[in-house]
Chain A
Amino acid sequence: MTQAADDAVLITQAQKGDRTAFDTLVGRYEARAYQYAFRLTRNPETASDIVSDAFLRVYTALHNFRGQSAFGTWLYRIITNCYLDFRKKDKSGRTSSLDSTIKGEEGEMERQIQDDADGPVELAERSAREGAVQEALSHMPEQQQAMLVMFHVEMKSYEEIAQVLDVPLGTVKSRLNRARLALRDLLGQQKELFFTG
């Protein structure tokens, strides 16, 4: 059975009130949901809250889900909306984590980027670029930030992003171009990080 068909069975059971089926559905998607939320917020607590909120919205709206899009796409849309709501409420802006550590359950840990066997200089440069990009992302409007994370980090296609945001494909392309330009402009002050060698 394909994942989509399997999901459809679980969703139908959950719509009938089967909590075990809903539990399984949560288990299947929670890691992806958390990664996306974390990449938007850079804060484990906030990411957990957003994911919990999102699954609660899924739970209360599941009876309306008719499978027009994949469950994962629907969930991404809900997480994006939860994140936008969170940012609206949190007018003071984010407090996280543009430094080089992540707050984990066992205290702070160094950010772990998979290493393709670069030397220490390359690693340091890459780390500095990554930090600068993260910082710039955090200062962008939420919609642009979500779009960049979906495309470049979550590797969603234009079509998937169009479904998640419920906008036409052409709109996604033009908005993504604007978001990329905005990111480029924010990083303009640190161009030496990007022109190496």
Chain B
Amino acid sequence: MDLTQARELYSAYYEGTIERLSAVALETAMQADPEISEDYQLFASVMDSLPVLAQESVPLPHDLHDRIMQRIDHHEWEKKQEKRFSLFGGPKLAWFGVAAAVFIGFAAMAVIQANKAGGTSEANSVPVAQTPFEVSFTVESGAVTLSAIGPLNSSVVLTSPEAGVPAQTEATSNRAVKIPLQNQSSNPRVVEVTAMVGKTKRDSYVMVLPGTSRGAQLTGEGTLIDCAKAVAKTYGTPVQVEGDSSKACRWSLTQKDTTDTLVVALGRTNVTARVSASGILQVSAR
């Protein structure tokens, strides 16, 4: 047996899975040839040293989970953008392309006209497509998640004045974010989400999150917010308040209301209720 043949057997010999006859042949070769013997000894010694690598403590980056999820969110956003801005993605988008081309043509003509007139027109830049501001809420097992993506310099600001916690600002500048909305207190809590672009308020959303305790507040009068809190307290469901939240309203519910009958029951007063596609109960005052 030469060195090359011997080497084919090293792993099996080292692991003890080698056949008896092969083992005898290898041992004989090692006794007869010091080169094979030394070669195998170094092989075995290197193998013996490998398990120490498994004991190495590898510190986990604290933001690893966020990085992974942000990567996925970014991918989702890019997919949305591709659909939205591809000129060849479908008939509607092709029309968008035509409209954009016409617009650019008119813009170019306006610049030419302005230059001919000797003016100092500032119309020398073509508008850049901006990500529209999208804010939505989803509910799963009673937990509400805010999803938002916005144009350049955009952010969402979360405030909860009753909770006495500082406002939370999340940048949404061409970036999808998901923020779980939580209420650890016993009573329902109002969370206001304001969509901002720079320092300009773009839109606002009011969400009433149920607290940890339940209680029947079946009838009452007050503002639309009070009504939403009563629903959240009684049924443990989050409620999105739309329109003028300070508008007066009254409500009369029963403990056995399901979502459908709840919508009907609220509809008998001056409150319009509906369930959004993402499962959020939305109320507004008529």
Which A residues contact B (CB, under 8 angstroms)?
A: 18-20, 22-23, 26-27, 30-31, 34-35, 38-39, 44, 48, 51-53, 55-56, 59-60, 102, 104-105, 109, 111-114, 126, 129-130, 133-134, 148-149, 152-155, 173, 176-177, 180-181, 183-184, 187-188, 191, 194-195
A113 B43 Cβ-Cβ under 8 A: no
Known: A18-B140, A133-B50, A176-B11. A34 touches B58 (CB 8 A): yes
Known: A59-B75, A195-B45. A153 touches B54 (CB 8 A): yes
| Nearest 5 interchain pairs by C-beta | A194-B45, A152-B50, A177-B11, A52-B71, A112-B57
List 7 extra interface pairs beyond A130-B56, A177-B8, A195-B42, CB under 8 A.
A113-B52, A129-B49, A130-B49, A133-B49, A176-B11, A191-B42, A194-B49
Q: Hey, what's the 0/1 contact readout for B44-62 against A, CB within 8 Å counting as 1?
A: 0111011111111111111
> Bound state CA distance, A153 and B55, in angstroms?
8
Are A188 and B53 CB-contacts (below 8 A) given A19-B178, A20-B140, A31-B60? no
Given contacts A34-B58, A44-B61, A105-B61, contact A51 B178 (CB under 8 A): no
Neighbour of A129 across the interface among B10, B52, B54, B57, CB < 8 A: B52
A-chain residues with CB within 8 Å of residue B53 when the two chains form the complex? 39, 130, 133-134, 149, 152-153
> Chain B 124-142, CB within 8 Å of chain A: the 1/0 string?
0000000000000000100
Contact with A along B61-75 (1 / 0, CB 8 A): 110110111011001
A112 and B53 CA atoms in complex are apart in Å by: 10
A129 to B47, CA, bound (A): 11
Instruction: Determine if A183 and B46 form an interchain contact, defined as CB atoms under 8 angstroms apart.
Output: yes
A44 contacts which chain B residues (CB < 8 A)? 59, 61
* A176, B53: Cα distance in complex, Å: 17
Report whether A184 and B11 are in contact in the complex, using a CB–CB cutoff of 8 Å.
no
Closest residue of chain B to A104, judged by CB?
B59
B276 in contact (CB, < 8 A): no
Asked if B259 CB lies within 8 Å of chain A CBs, one says no
A92 to chain B, nearest CB (A): 24
Taking CB as reference atom, which chain B residue is nearest A22?
Answer: B72
User: Could you name 14 residue pairs across A and B whose Cβ atoms are closer than 8 Å?
Assistant: A20-B143, A22-B72, A26-B65, A27-B65, A35-B58, A51-B64, A52-B71, A56-B71, A56-B72, A59-B72, A130-B53, A181-B10, A187-B42, A187-B46
CA distance A61 to B52 in the complex (A): 35
- Number of A-B contacts defined by CB within 8 Å: 118
| CA of A55 to CA of B75, assembled, Å | 11
Q: Specify which chain B residues have a CB less than 8 angstroms from the CB of A152 in the assembled complex.
A: 47, 50-51, 53-54
Chain B nearest CB: distance from A46 CB in Å? 12
Complex: A121 Cα to B276 Cα, angstroms: 69
**Residue pair B43, A184 in contact (C-beta under 8 Å):** yes
User: Is there a chain A Cβ closer than 8 Å to B250's Cβ?
Assistant: no
* Complex: chain B residue closest to A129, CB-CB: B49
Closest B residue to A125 using CB positions: B49
Task: Report how far A126 CA is from B49 CA in the complex, Å.
Answer: 8
Q: What B residues does A52 contact at CB under 8 A?
A: 67-68, 71
Contact of B214 with A by CB under 8 A: no
Q: What B residues does A30 contact at CB under 8 A?
A: 60, 64-65, 68
Q: How far is the CB of A85 from chain B (nearest CB, A)?
A: 15
- Do A48 and B61 touch (CB < 8 A)? yes
Residues from chain A with a CB closer than 8 A to the CB of B153 are none
B54 engages A48 (CB within 8 Å):
no
A127 to chain B, nearest CB (A): 9
B 6-18 to A, binary, CB cutoff 8 A, 1 in contact else 0 = 0110111000000
B41 at the interface (CB under 8 A from A): yes
Q: How far is the CA of A38 from the CA of B85 in the complex (A)?
A: 38
